[in-house]
Amino acid sequence: MAMVPFCIVPFIWLIILGLLGLWIWMLIDCIKREEKDFPSMGENTKLIWILIVVLTQWIGAIIYYFMVKQKMDKPSKEKS
């Protein structure tokens, strides 16, 4: 049985804690964001995103970040 080198263990814990932090951050953002701020896919869009983030954990958080948060938080550029 191969043992994991000791120097890798803290790195693995950092990754786990980072993904947990991302998941909590995206879940809080999803809960606080108003229904009108979601890209409209129909009724209950907010509820659907909350379920996606909760049930798929960090994978759902990454998907939420790129599909909702990043797009909705960009400042709108005014054409002059």
pTM of the model: 0.77
With CA atoms as reference, report the closest residue to 25 among 73, 56, 57. Answer: 57
Inside any domain, residue 49: yes
Inside any domain, residue 46: yes
Inside any domain, residue 27: yes
Using one digit for the tens of pLDDT, what is the confidence trace for 63-76? 999 998 887 777 76
Dihedral (C-alpha) 56, 51, 34, 29: value to the nearest 10 degrees? -30
Using one digit for the tens of pLDDT, what is the confidence trace for 10-57? 899 999 999 999 999 999 999 999 888 888 777 889 999 999 999 999
Domain total in the chain: 1
Inside any domain, residue 57: yes
Inside any domain, residue 52: yes
Inside any domain, residue 79: no
Structural domain including 26 reads 20-31+42-68
